[in-house]
Structure 1
């Protein structure tokens, strides 16, 4: 038999707060107006060392990403890092200035392209009153992909990022990167096996330094880096595959076996031929299907050091 409970008579919310430790505000002796408050971070003394970087990271914020592939414009979330160096005679930075400026750009629709980010970083350097400022933003980039035989389409995505550094004397340094997924088929397995060959999902990570005169209105770096990744793979990854598509993809992979060493050399060759790429780092990580380990290979090359 269910016991009938008497309805509780709770104290007021204020009394409940007091019950759990809340107390009345104490006397207020310090100023409440910003102009009268001490600014410790702007203290000028000899603080022993210059700081390489001071700022904020893991700042998630809505952004708009333009693309030459469908969808042409997409709303997503960017993960930001903001920083600047701090001179030896400065105690620190005003952290709120980073996110304050982010909100100003958001109010106008924050389109994450290189032109906008260069402007952002230059303004940030002036706001911080330091000799430099840097920004990086990572975001998922979606693009439409059609199946090779049926034409059935779906959405693929890659991880993309932009890094911009501005120095008031040296100007800009801009790097962009992409991590895309591919299929790789093992050449050794194909060579020694009677019936088949094992394959795996590969992850290609590219980061490049852009030429100062790079014009993103004519060339979308995201599409170019994606093509360098996928066109050199055993086969591309597809969101939708019917049986005729699957036949084409698996046969293509069998006809184009790739080691991780092959992948980074082939991708690097494509990047080397791009005039707007001045330096590049390429890494391939294969999630092996018949081993517990991953296979890796990488190349770093700086075209600016060539004679």
Structure 2
């Protein structure tokens, strides 16, 4: 008995002639290699269906094209190859290909003072497209940091000054007594409020960039903010972090401006949109600022 030919429903004509902008799969589980580390990721893979008479695409061909991501370090060149394979496997059907990868980049971060170190996770999305042979890559990276409110700090200082006047008015100042007062809750009667904050970076990369500048962008952002959240710490590190916050007061507007200036200098970035969120500890709502930039053509 001859084997039956399996039906190919996708090759049949569509009931309604209509092209589609995107057809594919979302949430495909796979491992990828980023900066030498193997991480778990989810991928969205799709193509346009430009032949409006075709019933559908061949999703298994997209799925199989993703296998190379398991073996090679993720780079713009690799992303372009995968997208080109999407199109080659859908010749006559599709002109545009898309690939999104969602994962967390793990970076080992040293403590501020002590020899300790710990792993820090940075949520990351990579969006690559090949549209009419024009290749484009975008990155979305979240960077967590601490922010201390300048207004709250000023109000706290005023209360401390008032307490100092109450405790030492018309009294000769003794060094030891003042030093003890500064180290007591009786003297430092108020502290400014701080909050865990988040910078959401959406970056457009140069078309011909060779590598994904993930660590470089994260390092630039954290250096600009000055108070990146920590991992493993001892008391000396916690004290150094308190000092960094006290010397680095910022509203959300300040954070957005610092990041804007830093990201303009990051290599391979042609445009960006950033959003900073200060999760208020005083209010039940957040303080938010946004900024964007596009490099002018020469």
Which one of the candidate residues 236, 243, 252 is aligned to 1:244? 236
Show the counterpart of 1:14: none
Check if 1:124 corresponds to 2:86: yes
Post-superposition offset of 1:60: 1.2
Show the counterpart of 2:280: 288
Post-superposition offset of 1:122: 1.1
Check if 1:208 corresponds to 2:203: yes
Task: Give the alignment of 1:189-268 within 5 angstroms.
Answer: 189-194=152-157, 195-216=190-211, 221-268=213-260
Aligned residue pairs total 262
- Distance, in Å, in 2 between the alignment partners of 1:300 and 1:104 is 34
Which one of the candidate residues 185, 189, 204 is aligned to 2:148? 185
Helix, strand or coil for the counterpart of 2:245?
helix
Post-superposition offset of 1:300: 2.5
Task: Give the alignment of 1:81-160 within 5 angstroms.
Answer: 81-87=44-50, 88-103=52-67, 105-106=69-70, 109-129=71-91, 130-160=94-124
Which one of the candidate residues 38, 58, 63 is aligned to 1:75? 38
- Distance, in Å, in 1 between the alignment partners of 2:260 and 2:31 is 33
What is the CA deviation profile of residues 98-127 of structure 1, one whole-angstrom value per residue up to 9, with x for unaligned ones?
A: 212223553xx2432222111111111111
TM-score (norm 2): 0.81
TM-score (norm 1): 0.79
Between the two structures, name the one with larger relative contact order (CA 8 Å, sep ≥ 6): 2
The change in CA–CA distance for 1:45 and 1:152 in structure 2 (over 3 A counts) is closer
Check if 1:163 corresponds to 2:132: no
- Distance, in Å, in 1 between the alignment partners of 2:151 and 2:32 is 44
Task: Give the alignment of 1:33-48 within 5 angstroms.
Answer: 33=4, 36-44=5-13, 47-48=16-17
Cα RMSD of the aligned pairs, angstroms, is 2.0
Runs (5+) with no aligned partner, structure 1: 1-30, 67-72
**Does structure 1 conserve the Cα–Cα contact (< 8 Å) formed by 2:75 and 2:210?**
no
Helix, strand or coil for the counterpart of 2:58?
coil
- Distance, in Å, in 2 between the alignment partners of 1:200 and 1:32 is 67
The change in CA–CA distance for 1:97 and 1:38 in structure 2 (over 3 A counts) is same
Which one of the candidate residues 267, 270, 286 is aligned to 2:262? 270
